[in-house]
Amino acid sequence: MGKKTGGKKKKTGREQFSRRRIFDIIQIGQKGDFYSRTFDILLVAVILVNIAALFMETFEELAFLAPLYRVVEVVCILFFLAEYILRIWTADYLYPKLTRKKAVLKFLFSFDGLVELLTILPFFFLTGFVVFRLLRAVRILHLFRINASYDSFHAILSVLYEKRNQIMSSVFILLLLILASSLCMYSIEHDAQPEVFRNAFSGIWWSAMTIFTVGYGDVYPVTVAGQFFAILINLLSVGVIAIPTGIISAGFVERYTSIQLGQAPGEERNGLVSMTVTKQTPLYGKTVKWVEDTQGLDVCVLIRDGLCAMPTRNTKLKEADVLVCRRLNP
C-alpha cells in the first residue's frame, strides 16, 4: 500500500493543464495566445449581436423578426452561461492564495461575478426588465485592460479615488451654487412669470441647465434683474465647472507621468534617471540648482507627496522627494 501524500487527492498533470489552459483562454487574452484572443473576439461579437438584437426588438417595423431575436438571445445566453460555469470552475486560478471553495465564493460575490450573473438571470426570471439585460454591455469593458497592474480604467479609477476629497469639495460648491441661484432666481422671477417659476424646483431646473449647458429655452428670466443675475451665474459657472475638470485632469497627468517615469532609484531608462532624496544622501537640503550644476543633470520633474511639479532652480529638496532627471552628457 502506498503512502498517502495528504488529505486531498492530488490532481493529475493532465487535469491541471486542462483547467489551467481553459483559465488562460477565458481570461483577457494576450497577443501571443491565438485561442485566448479568438475567445475575446468571439465574446465581443456575441455581446454586440446580443445588444443589437435587444435594440432591434424595440422597432415595430421589424416585429416580423421576433423568432430570430429569440434564437439570438438563446444562443447568447447559452454562451454566457457556459462562460460563467467555466469561470467558476477555474476560480482557484484567479485567486491562487485561496482554497478552491473560498475562491469560488469570492468570484461569485465579486463585481465581475455579479455582473456576469445579472447578464444571465434576466433570461430566466426578468425577461420583462430590459434594463437588466443591458448589463451585458458592461462585460465588454473587461476587454480593454492593457495589463493587470496599469490600464486606462485602473488609472482613471485610481485618480478618482486619490482625488476624492477635492472632487467632493468641488461638487459641494457646485451644489451650493445650484441651490443658491435657484432660490434667488425664483425670488426674482416668480412675480413676473409665476407659471414658469412656480416653485424652487423650477429654479433648480433653470440653474442646472444654465450651469451645465446654455439652457433649453423653456425656462429663462424676463426681468432685467433676472437677466443680470443669469449673466452673473453664467460667469461663476465657468469657473465652478472647471474645478473638478482641472482636478481630474491634473490627477490623471500625475498618474500617467508616474507610470511612464516609474523606475527604481538610480535606474536609467530612456535617458532618464530617478533619485530619491533621503537624509543619508547628499541631495537632502540642497537646491535643484546644486543638483544640476554639480551632478551634470537636468531636473525634469519633481515628485513630492505624490504630486508632480516642474521645479525652479531655487527649489529646496526635502526627504522623500523624487527627482526625474536627464543627463546632460549621456
Helix or strand (DSSP H, E) at 274: strand 272-276
Q: Cα 253 to the chain's mean position, in Å?
A: 15
Q: Are residues 69 and 86 in the same domain?
A: yes
C-alpha cell at 12: 493529475
Range of the domain at 237: 164-258
| CATH code of the domain containing 206 | 1.10.287.70
| pLDDT at site 106 | 92
Contacts of 316 (CB under 8 A, 6+ apart): 285, 286, 287
* Terminal C-alpha separation, the chain: 69
pLDDT band at 147 (very low <50, low <70, confident <90, very high): very low
Write down the mean pLDDT value for the chain. 77
Provide the pLDDT for residue 200.
80
C-alpha separations of 65 from 45, 53, 57, 68, 169 in Å: 20, 10, 8, 5, 51
Rounded to whole angstroms, the Cα distance separating 39 from 78 reads 15
Q: Is 178 helix (H, G, I), strand (E, B) or coil?
A: helix
One domain for residues 221 and 176: yes
Is 253 domain-assigned? Answer: yes
Q: How far apart are CA 211 and CA 213, in angstroms?
A: 6
Q: Of 278, 275, 284, which Cα lies nearest the Cα of 320?
A: 278
Instruction: Give 19-46 pLDDT, tens digit per residue.
Output: 888 888 887 665 677 888 888 888 888 8
Q: Are 221 and 229 in contact (CB under 8 A)?
A: yes
Same domain, 252 and 314: no
Domain count, the chain: 3
Q: Classify burial at 312, counting beta carbons within 10 Å of its beta carbon; exposed 0-12, middle 13-18, buried 19 or more.
A: exposed
What DSSP designation does 220 have?
-
Q: Is the pLDDT of residue 105 over 90?
A: yes
CB 36 within 8 A of CB 24: yes
Query: Burial level of 213, CB count in 10 A (0-12/13-18/19+)?
Result: exposed
- Residue 79's CATH number: 1.20.120
Q: Tell me, what CATH number does 311's domain have?
A: 3.30.70.1450
Please say if the pLDDT value at position 54 is more than 60: yes
DSSP 214: S
263 or 177, higher pLDDT: 177
Are the beta carbons of 297 and 325 closer than 8 angstroms?
A: yes
Neighbour tally for 131: CB within 10 Å: 8
pLDDT at 125: 65
